[in-house]
Structure 1
Amino acid sequence: MVMASATRLSADDWIAAGYARFHDGGLGGVRVEAIARDLGTTKGSFYHHFADRAALVAAVMDRWSREETDRFTVEADAAADPRERLAVLFRAISQRRMPGEASLYLDAEREGVTDWVRTVTARRVDYVASALVELGIETDEARRRAFAAVGTALGLELLARGGAGPLMVDRGDMVGSLLRALTA
């Protein structure tokens, strides 16, 4: 986990430590006492920066939104052609490892982050759908395909984490198959 000096910890230090716990094990790991131990400090430092755990979780979700959505779309936007944007996007996603996100969709309601999950999922679907519309696919069909593609990308990560990884064909081949199905 993240280690920092106990002196003058910032809110960003707490967010980074919380994000590291979320990244590795989901929001269930984002616990004030555990993060305080990681940082070598007390809970008092936490309450200097945050009203409660929910405020830290919101900050972690904001970082997740930026790092796990914005980062990929910025990379993809470097390509002018919508097919290439989708290829860049899905190649990048297929190479990422974000174990904590796997449980996020299951834990969203209990953790009080359904709005974050809904917003990020909608942004992801909208991004893919807009590229499909550029390729001439009707808007409603593009949205359906985009939703299926986002769900497939998440599902493949879950399968790999659940032990089915050795059964999977090469991830690059899967990205190619997904793109062909998506843009057909």
Structure 2
Amino acid sequence: MFDDKFIASAKKLISFISKNTFDSITQRTPYYHMGATITDSVLQAGLNYSHVVYPRILKLLKEFPDYKTTCDFIILMQIFPLNDLISWRNEKKLERIKKLSWFFYNNKIENEDQLATWLNDKNNLPKLAQIEGIGPKTIDYLKMLSGSQAIAVDRHLFKFLELANITVKTYQEANAIYCKVAEMLKISQYELDRKIWLFMSNSKA
């Protein structure tokens, strides 16, 4: 629950937001292509999204539009090497994509709607977090990719808090403040996340 400190931080962030101008955005819809969803969730960490990640997602969507389910993606990886499918050489992320694909398959998650339902059960999240490299931010990002409301606090959103002179110690603390701000502003969590992410991506701060 929120104590006075969190409420004060949320109000401070709202005040800072009001002093800036943000691009308008539309609600994100899932890819409805689990290969794209899984690949996006793994590649996004620490990479330039527009120039590095999204072109690879677009490649999967355009070249293999009929391979929509988790099972389809696993079959596709057996037909073509994954490094060729997404033009990627880093073995660690390639292995993570494979592990996440099999994890979803073994948990009977074949599409984004099923993924959203599964992620909505908090009892499932510790199992997902056992996969190396899958932390709270990636889990929140998977929620967003599957069409659920979430805020994935990355370096851009942490920097925005810093610019607002708000100090946080953990991911969970930052996430809680952003979620409270979305509630107080009566906007979706995705809208808040995306507006700030775009603002910071285009900023020289």
| TM-score, length basis structure 2 | 0.28
Max Rg structure? 1
Question: Which one scores higher on RCO, CA 8 angstroms, separation ≥ 6?
Answer: 2
| TM-score, length basis structure 1 | 0.30
